[in-house]
């Protein structure tokens, strides 16, 4: 990627970033993104039915509302995708991103918004500093991805679209914040911001 956005993405990406790009691209190709996130609920500990049900409900609402919020934002700002800006404005007419560019406005990143929403939901239920390993693609011979917190998992997911060249870094960062804000708003509206305290008082 020989350009401003591309060079920055390439420098940040490296071999690990390439892996992240293509794993998340596969997620979007074989399943809807929300079903992927729902499928990542922690499996290390035995979780009570009430806590599991709450996690599913909160995450599902947050995923749905973050997607709506993202699309509303996209058509308010109507921002060009990197490939359009780089080709038409910067003059790199042969530039291509690693991932195929979706045919809709760029800002904010939907994948980042959903990642922020579901990871904030899981942090509300289980606490942010929860170690988790994703084995979704073991059957394809891919290495599992391990995370020390839900925040780190959300950040990696969001950055994958920047590394892939279809989003600006700002759109990823704002998308993550957007998704987290949606999850926090749901907790505040439904539980007056006390859901995590009530859940921590119960046995997992």
Question: Which residues are within 8 A (CB) of 30 and not within 5 positions of it... i.e. 6 or more apart?
Answer: none
Question: What are 28's two structure tokens?
Answer: 């979007």
For residue range 52-101, list pLDDT tens digits in order. Answer: 888 889 999 999 999 999 999 999 999 999 999 999 999 999 999 988 89
Task: Give the domain CATH number at 181.
Answer: 1.10.606.20
Instruction: Name residue 147's beta-bridge partners.
Output: 132
Dihedral pair phi/psi, residue 170, rounded to 5°: -60, -40
Query: How many Cβ atoms are within 10 Å of 94's Cβ, its own excluded?
Result: 6
How confident is the model over 112-126, as a mean pLDDT?
A: 92
pLDDT band for 11, please (50, 70, 90 cuts): very low
What is the rounded distance in angstroms from the CA atom of residue 127 to the CA atom of residue 108?
26
- Helix or strand or coil: residue 132? strand
pLDDT band for 148, please (50, 70, 90 cuts): very high
In degrees, rounded to 5, the angle at the alpha carbon of residue 158 between the alpha carbons of residues 154 and 159 is: 115
Count up the domains in the chain and report the number.
1
Distance of CA 53 to the CA centre of its chain: 22
What is the rounded distance in angstroms from the CA atom of residue 204 to the CA atom of residue 178?
28
Tracing tokens 């290495």 back to the chain, one arrives at 143
Domain residues for the domain of 141 are 4-200
145 and 117 Cβ atoms separated by less than 8 Å: no
> Is the backbone peptide bond immediately before 108 cis, with ω within 30 degrees of 0?
yes
């Amino acid at each position: 990627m020989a350009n401003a956005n591309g060079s920055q993405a390439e420098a940040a990406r490296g071999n690990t970033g390439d892996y992240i790009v293509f794993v998340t691209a596969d997620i979007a190709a074989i399943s809807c993104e929300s079903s992927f996130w729902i499928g990542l609920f922690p499996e290390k500990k035995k979780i009570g039915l009430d806590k599991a049900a709450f996690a599913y409900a909160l995450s599902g609402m947050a995923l749905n509302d973050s997607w709506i919020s993202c699309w509303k934002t996209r058509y308010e700002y109507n921002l060009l995708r990197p490939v359009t800006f780089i080709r038409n404005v910067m003059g790199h007419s042969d530039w291509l991103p690693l991932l195929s560019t979706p045919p809709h406005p760029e800002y904010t990143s939907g994948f980042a918004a959903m990642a922020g929403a579901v990871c904030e939901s899981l942090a509300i239920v289980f606490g942010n500093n929860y170690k988790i390993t994703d084995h979704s693609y073991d059957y394809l011979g891919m290495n599992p991805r391990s995370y020390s917190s839900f925040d780190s998992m959300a950040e990696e997911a969001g950055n994958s679209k920047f590394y892939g060249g279809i989003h600006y870094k700002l759109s990823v960062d704002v998308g993550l914040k957007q998704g987290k804000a949606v999850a926090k708003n749901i907790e505040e509206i439904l539980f007056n911001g006390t859901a995590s305290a009530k859940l921590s008082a119960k046995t997992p």
